Amino acid sequence: MPGMARIIVGILLMVFTGWLVLLPADAGAPAGENSIELKAVKYADLGNAVRAQRGKVVVIDVWANFCIPCKREFHNLVELHRQYADKGLVCMSVSLDQPERKDAALKFLKKANAAFSNFWLDEKATVWQERWKITGPPAVFVFDRQGKRAGKFDSENEDKPWSYEDVKTLIQKLLAQSS
pLDDT of residue 7: 53
Q: Domains of the chain (ranges plus CATH)?
A: 32-176 (3.40.30.10)
Q: For residue 121, give the H/E element and its range.
A: strand 117-121
Cα(18)–Cα(113) distance, integer angstroms: 33
Query: Hey, how many other C-beta atoms are within 10 angstroms of the C-beta on 37?
Result: 13
Q: What is the pLDDT of residue 160?
A: 77
H-helix or E-strand spanning residue 103: helix 102-112
Is the pTM here over 0.85, yes or no?
A: no
What is the DSSP code (8-state) at residue 113? T
Q: What is the 3-state secondary structure (H, E, C) of 14-63?
A: HHHHHHHHHCCCCCCCCCCHHHCCCEEECHHHHHHHHHCCCCCEEEEEEE
Asked if 136 contacts 94 with a C-beta cutoff of 8 angstroms, the reply is no
- What is the per-residue pLDDT for 16? 38
Q: How far is CA 19 from CA 13, 30, 62, in A?
A: 10, 19, 40
In contact, 135 and 129? CB cutoff 8 Å:
yes
Burial of 38 (0-12, 13-18, 19+ CB in 10 A): buried
3-state secondary structure 145-174: CCCCEEEEEECCCCCCCCCHHHHHHHHHHH
pLDDT of the chain along its 179 residues, tens only?
556 555 544 444 443 333 333 333 333 333 444 589 999 999 999 999 999 999 999 999 999 999 999 999 999 999 999 999 999 999 999 999 999 999 999 999 999 999 999 999 999 999 999 999 999 999 999 999 999 999 999 987 777 788 899 999 999 999 998 65
DSSP 96: -
